[in-house]
Chains A and B, each alone.
Chain A
Amino acid sequence: LAKTTQPISMDSYEGQEVNITCSHNNIATNDYITWYQQFPSQGPRFIIQGYKTKVTNEVASLFIPADRKSSTLSLPRVSLSDTAVYYCLVGDRDSSYKLIFGSGTRLLVRP
């Protein structure tokens, strides 16, 4: 079964770049790696998704090495409103239907 590992928590300051890495072995070879953001009392919200190399949108970048055994979410110039929990999501290589959410990284952005 695919397994994901993320840091439990990270601290940063406003204006800094934050990189959160998720390690994921045994992931599906033909499926996306997706990241979500969750604020208290809300459901997770889609941030970014990629298959390989680098993807960038208006809020984040996602770096995926060729072996796809990890992915790094990069948040440029974080603000206080980026304080949230960030999850990676992958599919399992051995089961075409298995879906694995990471345990989440709690990011605290300080003034």
Chain B
Amino acid sequence: DARVTQTPRDKVTEMGQEVTMRCQPILGHNTVFWYRQTMMQGLELLAYFRNRAPLDDSGMPKDRFSAEMPDATLATLKIQPSEPRDSAVYFCASGLGTGVADTQYFGPGTRLTVL
């Protein structure tokens, strides 16, 4: 049963520290999404890639967030420096298609707490 995996599952860090979250998409999927979810804002799309190229990163604070796909099996989301307001659950999802609203398969998420 193919699944999206995310590491770490939980991360507690102090303000100002760098945080790197990793995602392994389902093998063969060509689209990878990064989301952030909080109680106040709900589910927000940060960025997504298709065939490793960024298609939309307008939801991501550019000054401190960066997203990359070093290869087809790994996507990373980095926050530097982290701030308490970045505390949230970060989800990665992957899909296979050419449309925007094609089916996405979500990972279990990384719960980030910035103190």
The interface size of chain B toward A, counting residues with CB under 8 Å, comes to: 23
Q: Whole-angstrom distance from the CB of A108 to the nearest CB of chain B?
A: 17
B residues within 8 A CB of A34? 101-104
- Chain B CB count within 10 A is highest, among A33, A95, A98, for A98
Contact of B25 with A by CB under 8 A:
no
Which residues of A are found within 8 Å of B65, using beta-carbon distances?
none
Instruction: Give chain A residues whose Cβ lies under 8 Å from the Cβ of B42.
Output: 101, 103-104
The stretch from A14-22, A59-67, A75-83, A85-93 touching chain B is: A85-93
Q: Is A70 an interface residue (CB 8 A)?
A: no
Partner of A43, one of B55, B101, B106: B106
Given known A-B contacts A87-B43, A104-B42, A104-B43, A97 and B100 have beta carbons under 8 A apart: yes
Q: Could you tell me if A31 and B108 are in contact, using CB atoms closer than 8 angstroms? A: no
Shortest B80–chain A CB gap in Å is 25
Chain B nearest CB from A33 CB (Å) reads: 7
Q: Does B93 contact A (CB under 8 A)?
A: yes
The CA-CA distance from A104 to B42 in the complex, in Å, is 8
Q: A34-B102, A44-B104, A104-B43 are in contact. List 7 more A-B contacts (CB 8 A).
A: A31-B100, A41-B109, A44-B106, A89-B101, A96-B100, A99-B101, A101-B42
Residues of B within 8 A of A (CB): 4, 33, 42-45, 48, 55-56, 58, 91, 93, 99-109
